[in-house]
């Protein structure tokens, strides 16, 4: 029991002080009936070697890791510099908790302040929070925020081209929220939100529109155009970005007129890890700061004039406002937000611009190569970042063949978009070299 | 305590500005391959304008920056960190190694099931282990944190009752509950009705009987409660709720007091959430990531989030079409990296080890209680479970309050216990030692607490001025909230 | 803690200065002391109609948040525009510069439900924290 410092001897001494005979006696207030049925029927504990051996055995059966992969669909392979994980393993960071005592948590608090700054910069908005669970729940919380801010309006217009899982999470979050209504707006032949349909749907009942960009097909939406239409009708514009690396090359949501922007931060220094933990990025315009969900860190000053950082505007949150809180979120994704902060500090301004360009070039080259053989065609004409959609005959069979050749070539769309069952998305990043792209084209041909 | 006081340039307390204040144009922290082909791929109106303000700092400076920041934190690894209801137990380093195995860390969530068999099996086994520990019938690992688990549980209750044609408006919640309870219930459209505990903070069956009705969907209860006391009437309380068609939500934050001692599934709980970052040793991370799996009795199993794990002929896969499911609460499968850690922990301890951990956790808390209750007023007399609640009542004459005691503890190198929670206790100081602390550490902490009580009488000014041995002193939170500055901007810095 | 003689008080700890059919409203020194340093105030809009006991505003300190209730029914004729940028006025001068709202009283008989200073003092003494 290497995790337990107490010994038989120290236990006996403590029992004496507490005034009981045996350890069992400290539970005398627990009803006997419950005590008698509480035994945990699990095998005996394992030493470290055996524990890790079991885990290694499980890990080895995840054969996708050995394959050449072009999977995207909301999670992306990017290179993470070694320094990120090394710094993340500082126990002072990972074993700390919520910085309620700011005087001894300045490391965590300053890092979050830097994170908030970077997120606001990336999304092109005024203020960002200390993180949400993931892009999907961030989108749901953004929708709830729009409903809160636009008090008399109950309707949300959501793009059907937004990641299906984001739409599912939104639906779950809205169950039981009185009056809230979601209507979907479709996409047109270019792969973007159908503007005419959107304009027809917008009226004074609409609190906001929610649009994915890049969307599930990899297509970059015309946020400037969409937000213009929304604004004419007094609706807020919310964008959700599943591939946050796109923010390195694409005009920021804030710059395009978004009022609230969320993103999944996994692409920025976070391992895939079968989809979690990731981190939800959340930013908005200044005027909405008091309606923001999640924790906020602000600058402060101590009695001697020293600059420091504190959790602030806490009265929005559950531990004070309880049932009238802006959200129920407590624990968020603190350490992952730190990973993003360290990653962005290393990659920096120039590195981001370079990565943006690299991803664009690799993906565009890949689409060209894949479509060169004639078996596949580009499905959508609109601009894309590092993920694109191709159409061909019998997508499932093609993916199967590719898999047999050791390549996970992409994600078939038919499961969520029946009219696109002849199509699949492919994600290409800076992790893919020329030979990888050639291999992709080869196995798909 | 490291450092000779407040002067950050001296000794070990090294000063460090914001990373942006280290920006120097031309510095880079990574070397990139620069793509070929200068023609712009995206149309002009879609191109990023600028990312001004993003760091321009070299790698060694970035590393130094974050290393210095880390040194300003007290953490559970460096010191006793007795936050009540947070269970700051030791985070085994082997768990970190496990989570970083490439087989887990590099696995894409959309990988075909047949290529992710190890991950799905790990999750299935973890579900089973949690079900066994809690006495519940089925588990979903999807919720990303305790609060999201609460939301999931309340949504399931709502869906179940709606299915029965019995939609109800209200939820009963004790005044001592964690704030996420009412917040989560409110997010499901419920009206909250407060239930008062008795003088021991215990929710009595009589009080529930008076409040219960056919318009009450559920009772949310924490056991042990936030005063560290076992809810002795829980079985009767559950019966009262059930008798009128309501369900019982059990907040599992304090499960560290119950392993091998009492199973929530046998107490009448219909649904509970686990906090993997509390009971199951995954790191708190400075505010996450956590994980908040939910466990349910069979009657709620159809409503668990989609997708679910299925095993057929030894092959694991995900099924996403359970018709009564409330749907998804999170993308992909949840905080998988935390599942690996919790799995490693439970495997390392086994049933016996978990039971022993609970025993030591509760004994440690009672030891602290027994040794401190003469000096500090104990909110509830008698045995406690894994945490005890003290107050500042005995210090009243000195003018020293709970907040001051907490700040002075920082000078002794301890992270302060939870303060001013639960709300039902005035001046609450909630101490949860966990099983990870030795007798020496407990004795040292007790000595510090006693010294502070003494100092309160002899030199209260010193306590009012505390902390003085930390990188910064008490911060002006009112000013920070009046004119919030929530980010660095270049204009304000030059 | 003082409760000026020329004011009336509500159960929600607002004070009311009645001048003809206009009521000036703020929060009492008991309320501001309970809240601590006020950091944010949300006031109704001029022209809003309020009903007695309606929540008409919000007041926040670092550690607590509280609704401000209309002690009388009527129409909001003026709000203290200085207050949002100078929230400390609520703590420093709750009965003077910390005033919040002026209401044109719709029903003068509602004044009878308000407390006299002595009554309010008793009420405060018995209040649980």
Cα separation values, B20 from A121, A341, B244, B259, C124, Å = 12, 12, 60, 47, 51
Q: Which of B260, B455, B438 is nearest to A38 (CA)?
A: B260
Q: Across the interface, do A52 and B188 touch by the CB < 8 Å criterion?
A: no
What mean pLDDT comes out for the span B208-221?
A: 96
Q: Number of residue pairs across A and B with CB atoms under 8 Å?
A: 698
DSSP-based three-state secondary structure for C106: coil
Between CA A296 and CA A221 the distance in angstroms is: 30
- What is the dihedral angle through the alpha carbons of B111, B115, B121, B127, rounded to the nearest 10 degrees? 10
pLDDT tens track for A198-238: 999 999 999 999 999 999 999 999 999 999 999 999 999 99
**Distance (Å) from the alpha carbon of A309 to chain C's nearest alpha carbon:** 15
The domain in which residue C44 lies consists of 8-107
Residue-wise pLDDT for A87-98, tens only, equals: 999 999 999 998
For the record, the structure tokens of A46 come out as: 């394992």
The pLDDT tens digits for B271-318 are: 999 999 999 999 999 998 999 999 999 999 999 999 999 999 999 999
Give me the mean pLDDT over the B36-51 stretch: 80
Q: pLDDT-derived band of residue C63, with 50, 70 and 90 as boundaries?
A: confident
Rounded Cα distance between C76 and B323, Å, is 52
What pLDDT is attached to residue C129? 46
Distance (Å, whole) CA B206 – CA B240:
9
Confidence of residue B33 (pLDDT cuts 50, 70, 90): confident
What's residue A315's pLDDT?
76
Confidence at B3, pLDDT banded by 50, 70, 90: very low
Sequence-ordered list of residues with C-beta below 8 angstroms from that of B459, at least 6 positions apart, any chain? none
Q: A164-174 and A135-149 are packed helices; what angle lies between their axes, rounded to 10 degrees?
A: 50
- CA–centroid distance for B240 within its chain: 30
Calculate what percentage of chain B has a pLDDT beyond 70: 96
DSSP strands (E only) in C28-108: 38-42, 49-50, 55-61, 65-69, 74-79, 101-105
Looking at residue C127, its pLDDT comes to 73
Mean pLDDT, rounded, for C83-95: 93
The answer to whether residue C84 sits within a structural domain is yes
* Nearby residues of A263 by Cβ (< 8 Å), 6 or more positions away: A122, A123, A135, A138, A240, A241, A242, A244, A247, A280, A281
What is the fold, at CATH topology level, of the domain defined by B94-348? 3.40.640
Domains of chain A, first to last: 8-60 (no CATH), 68-80+350-444 (3.90.1150.10), 82-342 (3.40.640.10)
Percent of residues, chain B, with pLDDT higher than 90: 85
Q: How far is CA C37 from the centre of its chain?
A: 16
C13 contacts C28 by C-beta, under 8 angstroms: yes
Q: What is the pLDDT of residues B159-195, one digit of tens each?
A: 999 999 999 999 999 988 988 899 899 889 999 999 9
pLDDT exceeds cutoff 90 at A322: no
The answer as to whether C115 is a domain residue is no
B chain contacts of residue C86, beta-carbon cutoff 8 Å? none
What residues in C contact B477, CB-CB < 8 Å? 62
Tokens describing residue B226: 């936030």
Q: What is the pLDDT of residue A371?
A: 97
Tell me which chains share at least 3 CB pairs under 8 Å with chain B: A, C
* Euclidean distance between CA atoms A59 and A293, whole angstroms: 36
Q: Tell me the mean pLDDT in the region C53-78.
A: 90
Q: Which of A327-331, B427-431, C28-32, C94-98 has the lowest mean pLDDT?
A: A327-331
Confidence class of residue A137 from pLDDT cuts 50, 70 and 90? very high
- Please tell me the predicted confidence (pLDDT) of residue C1: 76
Q: What number is the average pLDDT over the span A347-352?
A: 93
Question: Does residue C55 lie within any of the structural domains?
Answer: yes
Residue of A365, A374, A383 whose CA lies nearest to A444: A374
CATH architecture of B358-479: Alpha-Beta Complex (3.90)
The band of B2, judged by pLDDT with boundaries at 50, 70 and 90, is very low
Residue C79 sits at φ, ψ, to 5 deg, of -125, 155
- The secondary structure of residue A275, as a DSSP letter, is G
Spatial distance between the Cα atoms of A438 and A443, rounded to a whole number of angstroms: 9
Distance from CA of A123 to the nearest CA of B (A): 10
If you measure CA to CA, which chain C residue comes closest to A290? C40
Chain A partners (3+ C-beta pairs within 8 A): B, C
Digit-coded pLDDT (tens) for A371-393: 999 999 999 999 999 999 999 99
Sign of CA dihedral B297, B302, B307, B312: positive
Interface of B with C (CB under 8 A): 420, 426, 477-478, 481-482
Q: Which tens digit of pLDDT belongs to each residue from C20-52?
A: 999 999 999 999 998 889 998 989 999 999 999
Q: Which residues of B touch A134 (CB under 8 A)?
A: 144, 330-332
Domain boundaries, chain B: 94-348, 358-479
Question: Which pLDDT score, from 0 to 100, does residue B382 have?
Answer: 93
Q: Would you say residue B389 has pLDDT above 60?
A: yes
Nearest residue, CB atoms, C62 vs list B420, B426, B477? B477
Distance in angstroms (rounded) separating the CA atoms of residues A132 and A263: 10
pLDDT band at A127 (very low <50, low <70, confident <90, very high): very high
**Is C92 inside a domain boundary?**
yes
Would an 8 Å CB–CB cutoff place C84 in contact with chain B? no
Average pLDDT, chain B: 93
Residue C128: pLDDT band (50, 70, 90) is: low
Q: pLDDT digits over A364-375, tens only?
A: 999 999 999 999
3-state SS string for chain B: CCCCCCCCCCCCCCCCCCHHHHCCCCCCCCCCCCCCCCCCCCCHHHECCCCCCCCCCCHHHHHHHHHHHHCCECCCCCCCCCECCCCCCCCCHHHHHHHCCHHHHCCCCCCCHHHCHHHHHHHHHHHHHHHHHHCCCEEECCCCCHHHHHHHHHHHHHHHHHHCCCCCCEEEEECCCCCHHHHHHHHCCCEEEEECCCCCCCCCHHHHHHHCCCCEEEEEEECCCCCCCCCCCHHHHHHHHHHCCCEEEEEHHHHHHCCCCCCHHHCCCCEEECCCCCCCCCCCCCCCCCCCCEEECHHHHHHCCCCEEEEECCEEEEECCCCCCCCCCCCCCCCHHHHHHHHHHHHHHHHHHHHHHHHHHHHHHHHHHHHHCCCCEECCCCCCCCCEEEECHHHHHHCCCHHHHHHHHHHCCCCCCEECCCCCCCCCEEECCCCCCCHHHHHHHHHHHHHHHHHHHHCHHHHHCCCCCCCCCCECHHHHHHCCCCCCCHHHHC
Identify the DSSP state of C11: T
pLDDT of B1 over the 50 cut: no
Chain C residue at shortest CA distance from A324 = C65
Task: Read off the pLDDT of residues B54-86 as tens digits, 9 standing for 90 and up.
Answer: 999 999 999 999 999 999 999 999 999 999 999
Asked whether the predicted pLDDT for residue B5 surpasses 50, the reply is: no
How many domains does chain C contain in total? Answer: 1
Does the pLDDT of residue A324 top 90, yes or no?
no
Which among C36, C87, C129 is the nearest to B482, CB-wise?
Answer: C87
CB atoms within 10 A of CB C26: 27
The partner residues of A263 in beta bridges, in order of sequence, read A241, A281
All chains having 3 or more CB pairs closer than 8 angstroms to chain C: A, B
Peptide bond between residue A277 and the one before it cis (omega within 30 degrees of 0): yes
Contact B20, A117 (CB under 8 A): yes
Q: Mean pLDDT for chain A? A: 95
Using CA atoms, how far residue A386 sits from A216, A272, A372, in Å, is 12, 17, 18
């Amino acid at each position: 029991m290497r995790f337990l410092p107490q010994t038989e001897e120290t236990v006996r001494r403590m029992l004496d002080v507490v005034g009981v005979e045996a350890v069992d006696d400290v539970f005398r207030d627990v009803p006997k009936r419950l005590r008698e049925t509480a035994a945990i029927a699990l095998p005996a504990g394992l030493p470290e070697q055996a524990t890790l051996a079991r885990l290694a055995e499980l890990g080895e059966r995840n054969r996708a890791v050995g394959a050449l992969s072009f999977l995207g669909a909301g999670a992306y392979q990017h290179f993470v510099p070694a320094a990120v994980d090394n710094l993340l393993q500082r126990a002072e960071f990972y074993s700390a908790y919520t910085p309620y005592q700011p005087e001894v948590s300045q490391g965590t608090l300053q890092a979050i302040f830097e994170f908030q700054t970077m997120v606001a910069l990336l999304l092109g908005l005024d203020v960002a929070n200390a993180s949400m669970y993931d892009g999907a729940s961030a989108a749901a919380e953004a929708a709830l925020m729009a409903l809160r801010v636009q008090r008399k309006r109950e309707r949300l217009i959501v793009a059907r081209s937004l990641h299906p899982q984001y739409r599912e999470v939104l639906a779950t979050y809205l169950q039981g929220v009185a009056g809230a209504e979601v209507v979907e707006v479709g996409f047109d032949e270019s792969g973007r939100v159908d503007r005419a349909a959107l304009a027809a749907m917008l009226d004074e009942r609409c609190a906001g529109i929610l649009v994915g960009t890049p969307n599930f097909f990899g297509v970059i939406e015309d946020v400037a155009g969409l937000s213009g239409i929304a604004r004419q009708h007094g609706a807020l514009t919310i964008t959700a970005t599943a591939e946050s690396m796109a923010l390195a090359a694409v005009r920021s949501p804030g710059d395009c007129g978004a009022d609230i922007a969320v993103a999944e931060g996994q692409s920025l220094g976070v391992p895939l890890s079968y989809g979690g933990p990731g981190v939800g990025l959340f930013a908005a315009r200044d005027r909405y700061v008091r309606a923001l969900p999640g924790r906020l860190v602000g600058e402060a000053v101590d009695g001697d004039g020293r600059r420091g950082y504190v959790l602030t505007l806490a009265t929005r949150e559950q531990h004070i406002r309880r049932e009238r809180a802006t959200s129920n979120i407590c624990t968020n994704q603190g350490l992952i937000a730190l990973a993003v902060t360290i990653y962005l500090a290393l990659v920096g301004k120039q590195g981001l611009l370079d990565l943006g360009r690299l991803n664009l070039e690799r993906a565009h080259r890949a689409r060209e190569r894949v479509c060169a053989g004639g078996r596949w065609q580009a499905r959508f004409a609109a601009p894309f970042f590092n993920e694109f959609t191709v159409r061909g005959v019998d997508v499932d069979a093609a993916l199967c063949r590719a898999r047999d050749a050791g390549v996970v070539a992409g994600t078939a769309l038919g499961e969520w978009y029946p009219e696109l069952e002849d199509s699949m998305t492919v994600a290409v990043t800076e992790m893919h070299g020329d030979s990888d792209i050639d291999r992709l084209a080869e196995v798909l041909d | 305590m490291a450092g000779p006081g407040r002067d950050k340039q001296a000794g070990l307390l090294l000063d460090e500005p914001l990373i942006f204040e280290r920006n120097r144009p031309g510095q880079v922290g990574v070397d990139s391959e620069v793509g070929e082909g200068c023609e712009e791929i995206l149309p002009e109106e879609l191109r990023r304008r600028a990312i001004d303000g993003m760091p321009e700092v070299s790698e060694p400076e970035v590393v130094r920056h974050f290393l210095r920041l880390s040194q300003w934190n007290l953490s559970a690894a460096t010191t006793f960190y007795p936050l009540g209801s947070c269970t700051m137990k030791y985070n085994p380093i082997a768990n970190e190694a496990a989570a970083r195995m490439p087989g887990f860390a590099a696995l894409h969530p959309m990988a075909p099931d047949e290529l992710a068999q190890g991950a799905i099996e790990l999750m299935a086994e973890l579900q089973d282990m949690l079900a066994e520990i809690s006495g519940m019938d089925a588990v979903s690992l999807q919720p990303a944190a305790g609060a999201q688990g609460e939301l999931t549980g309340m949504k399931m209750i709502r869906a179940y009752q709606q299915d029965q044609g019995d939609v109800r408006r209200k939820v009963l919640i004790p005044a001592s509950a964690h704030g996420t309870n009412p917040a989560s219930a409110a997010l499901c459209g419920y009206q909250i009705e407060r239930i008062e505990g008795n003088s021991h903070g215990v929710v009595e069956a009589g009080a529930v009987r008076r409040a219960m009705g056919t318009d009450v969907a559920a009772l949310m209860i924490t056991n042990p409660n936030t005063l560290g006391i076992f809810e002795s009437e829980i079985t009767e309380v559950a019966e009262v709720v059930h008798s009128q068609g309501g369900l019982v939500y059990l907040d599992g934050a304090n499960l560290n007091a119950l392993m091998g001692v009492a199973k929530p599934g046998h107490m009448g709980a219909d649904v509970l959430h686990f906090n993997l970052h509390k009971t199951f040793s995954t790191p708190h991370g400075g505010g996450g990531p956590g994980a908040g799996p939910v466990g349910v009795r069979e009657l709620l199993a159809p409503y668990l989030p989609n997708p679910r794990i299925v095993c057929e002929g030894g092959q694991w896969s995900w099924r996403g079409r359970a018709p009564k499911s409330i749907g998804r609460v999170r993308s992909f499968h949840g905080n998988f990296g935390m599942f690996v850690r919790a799995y490693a922990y439970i495997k390392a301890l086994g049933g016996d080890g978990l039971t022993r951990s609970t025993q030591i956790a509760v004994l440690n808390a009672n030891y602290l209680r027994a040794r401190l209750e003469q000096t500090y007023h104990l909110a509830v007399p008698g045995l406690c479970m894994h945490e005890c609640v003290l107050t500042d009542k005995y210090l009243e004459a000195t003018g020293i309050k709970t907040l001051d005691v907490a700040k002075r503890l920082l000078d002794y190198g301890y992270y302060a216990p939870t303060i001013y929670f639960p709300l039902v206790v005035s001046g609450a100081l909630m101490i949860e030692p966990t099983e990870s602390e030795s007798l020496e550490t407990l004795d040292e902490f007790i000595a510090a607490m006693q010294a502070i009580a003494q100092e309160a009488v002899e030199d209260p000014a010193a306590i009012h001025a505390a902390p003085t041995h930390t990188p910064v002193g008490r911060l002006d939170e009112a000013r920070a909230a009046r004119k919030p500055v929530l980010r660095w901007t270049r204009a304000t810095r030059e | 803690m003082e409760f000026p003689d020329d004011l009336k008080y509500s159960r929600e700890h607002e004070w009311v200065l009645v001048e003809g059919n206009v009521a000036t409203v703020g929060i009492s020194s008991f309320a501001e002391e309970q809240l601590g340093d006020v950091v944010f105030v949300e006031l109704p809009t001029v022209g809003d109609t309020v009903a007695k006991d309606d929540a008409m505003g919000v007041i926040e300190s670092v550690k607590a948040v509280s609704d401000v209730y209309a002690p009388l029914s009527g129409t909001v004729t003026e709000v203290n525009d200085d207050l949002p940028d100078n929230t400390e006025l609520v703590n420093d001068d709750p009965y003077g510069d910390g005033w919040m709202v002026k209401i044109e009283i719709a029903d003068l008989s509602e004044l009878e439900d308000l407390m006299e200073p002595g009554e309010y003092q008793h009420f405060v003494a018995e209040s649980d924290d």
